[in-house]
Amino acid sequence: QVQLQESGPKLVKPSETLSLTCTVSGGSISGYYWGWVRQPPGKGLEWVGYVYYTGDTNYIPSLESRVTISVHTSKNQFFLILSSVTAADTALYYCVKLGTGTIDFWGQGTLVTVSS
Amino acid sequence: DVVMTQSPLSLPVTLGQPASIFCRSSQSLVYDDGNTYLNWFQQRPGQSPRRLIYKVSNRDSGVPDRFSGSGSGTYFTLKISRVEAEDVGVYYCLQGTHWPGSFGQGTKLEIK
């Protein structure tokens, strides 16, 4: 079965850029949608956005001006870039595999803290 | 955006007793293809969420049959027929019919 693993810096300074990588194993990234969901400490789940293996993307409106999700099919990886971060962006970031109208699989999550 | 309202937010349950969690959407979740993309996820303490139910009532492989989903339109229910200790955690509904998909606030199930 597909497995997803997030990686990237765990501490980011305010106003700087958060960058995460999701490495997919146990299956090809091609043919599917992949996304990012975040969970602020002690709070609920929130979509960030998703990317199709072709590179087509969709983001939640509140983050659209700051977020970029991209994919590298030959490396079986996809990426999250979130610019101009603030403390409100502190969260557990999950990479996910989408199905039709659903989330099929989740990574284990990586906690990113925004602090100086 | 579609708002998903879950209730209750806290659910203390005695072992072996049934439990129900409700999720109401601010608009119909029936998609153009006739399917209703309502999902239920379980998040055990310290773990990632895992899907239990998709398209209202379809149980995922490996999910015990004491979990069942029902509902239609804008009102949905996750039922646990007999709560076991391993069911402790937070349960979320997720609508995937309208983008952006929206989660409920979460229901924290604990053992009395």
For an interface test with A, which of B99, B102, B108 has the most A Cβ atoms less than 10 Å from its Cβ? B99
Q: What is the pLDDT of residue A16?
A: 98
State yes or no: cis peptide before B100, omega within 30 of 0.
Answer: yes
Q: Do B99 and A45 touch (CB under 8 A)?
A: no
Q: Does A100 touch chain B (CB under 8 A)?
A: yes
Q: List per-residue pLDDT tens for chain B, 112 residues long.
A: 899 999 999 999 999 999 999 999 999 999 999 999 999 999 999 999 999 999 999 999 999 999 999 999 999 999 999 999 999 999 999 999 998 899 999 999 999 9
The partner residues of A44 in beta bridges, in order of sequence, read none
Query: A18-28 pLDDT, tens per residue?
Result: 999 999 999 99
Query: A56-108 pLDDT, tens per residue?
Result: 999 999 999 999 999 999 999 999 999 999 999 999 999 999 999 999 999 99
Two tokens at B4? 């998903």
Two tokens at B87? 């069911």
A47 in Cβ contact with A28 (< 8 Å): no
Q: How confident is the model at residue A17 (pLDDT cuts 50, 70, 90)?
A: very high
Q: Do A102 and B96 touch (CB under 8 A)?
A: yes
Q: What is the pLDDT of residue B99?
A: 87
pLDDT averaged over every residue in chain A: 96
Average pLDDT over residues A28-34: 96
Q: What is the pLDDT of residue B100?
A: 86
Q: What is the pLDDT of residue A73?
A: 95
Q: What is the pLDDT of residue A24?
A: 98
Q: What is the pLDDT of residue A113?
A: 98
pLDDT of A2 above 90: yes
A44 in Cβ contact with B3 (< 8 Å): no
